[in-house]
Amino acid sequence: MRIVRTVRDAREATRDSRRPWGFVPTMGALHAGHLQLAARAREENSAVAASIFVNPLQFGPNEDFARYPRAFAEDCAKFEAAGVDLLFAPDVDQMYPDGFATFVDPGPVGDVFEGALRPGHFRGVATVCTKLFDVIGAERVYFGAKDAQQVAVLRRVIADLSLPVELRVVPTVREDDGLALSSRNVYLNAEERAAAPALYAALSFLAEAVRSGRRDRAAMLAESRTRLVAPLREAYLDLVDPLTFRSAADLAKASLAIGSVWAGTTRLIDNVPISAAAERAA
């Protein structure tokens, strides 16, 4: 695996004859979820690039940018073992030169739920991904279904800016008890960790209720909420259209049960697709 640190080297490294390239952008602190994306990219492409970049633009002023877990040496070994050919690991000044002032704003899909709780987050995600897609020049990019709103935002950006990439979504990798793998799970104390799978349980209940034919949205949400036991505190819980993240008008068709809880100072997110159509869209 070749490791490059500059935009210029990354551009040169992917301009070889092996095509197509698959690309897996990450913030590092790799777990089995990230490696699943790399495995899919490996299966489906002639060459695989990944990136590790903790993007300051997508963190709010009171968020965990400074303490976000970093494990570069271990991450390199994991990506290498997963068959990654090229790792782009830029410093902040490579991505954001002095005087940086140009942003990609994804519009309304980036303003609700995660976007409402983290103002500017999706502008940061959309901006960095647009830059990374351009630098790497891969035909296919791989993202996790766990971050479903991020997928919705990037679908919008790719379509609106006519970016020459195909976005492929990889199902969420979970612990045995249902908790979605996340680099932030290391922040949980024992009590929070023990309660955390309740988020997936609540979302699974909601998805199953809709699948079984129920349409009493408010009652289903209320019943689902009762599963979010202390010390978890709800941030949001809803049924949405996976493309727009607006409230799903037709619950059966293609909706997604989404939720987020606070566990101490850590916020967890997860989602469960109601139908195969929702799974494809997410």
Residues at the interface with ligand AMP (CB under 6 A): 26-27, 33-34, 36-37, 143-144, 146-147, 170, 172-173, 180-183
- The least CB distance from residue 215 to ligand AMP, in Å, is 30
Considering the complex, state which of residue 14 and residue 26 has its C-beta at the smaller distance from ligand AMP: 26
- The least CB distance from residue 25 to ligand AMP, in Å, is 6
- The least CB distance from residue 222 to ligand AMP, in Å, is 28
Nearest to 238 by CA among 113, 139, 140, 150: 113
C-alpha pair distances (Å), 185 with each of 76, 201, 263: 20, 17, 10
Distance of alpha carbon 31 from the chain centroid: 13
Considering the complex, state which of residue 34 and residue 123 has its C-beta at the smaller distance from ligand AMP: 34
Q: Which of 4, 34, 113, 149 is catalytic?
A: 34
- The least CB distance from residue 127 to ligand AMP, in Å, is 14
- The least CB distance from residue 217 to ligand AMP, in Å, is 27
Pairing of strands 21-26, 166-170: unpaired
Q: How far apart are CA 260 and CA 112, in angstroms?
A: 13
Considering the complex, state which of residue 209 and residue 263 has its C-beta at the smaller distance from ligand AMP: 263
User: DSSP string covering the chain, please?
Assistant: -EEE-SHHHHHHHH-SS---EEEEEE-SS--HHHHHHHHHHHHH-SEEEEEE---GGGS-TTSSTTTS---HHHHHHHHHHTT-SEEE---HHHHS-TT--------GGGTSTHHHHSTTHHHHHHHHHHHHHHHH--SEEEEEGGGHHHHHHHHHHHHHTT-S-EEEEEPPPB-TTSPBP-GGGGG--HHHHHHTTHHHHHHHHHHHHHHTT---HHHHHHHHHTT--TTEEEEEEEEE-TTT-SBPSSHHHH-EEEEEEEETTEEEEEEEESSHHHHHH-
Considering the complex, state which of residue 27 and residue 165 has its C-beta at the smaller distance from ligand AMP: 27
Considering the complex, state which of residue 85 and residue 147 has its C-beta at the smaller distance from ligand AMP: 147
Q: How far apart are CA 251 and CA 67, in angstroms?
A: 39
Considering the complex, state which of residue 251 and residue 267 has its C-beta at the smaller distance from ligand AMP: 267
Q: Is residue 34 annotated as a catalytic residue, yes or no?
A: yes
- The least CB distance from residue 98 to ligand AMP, in Å, is 25
The set of catalytic residues is 34
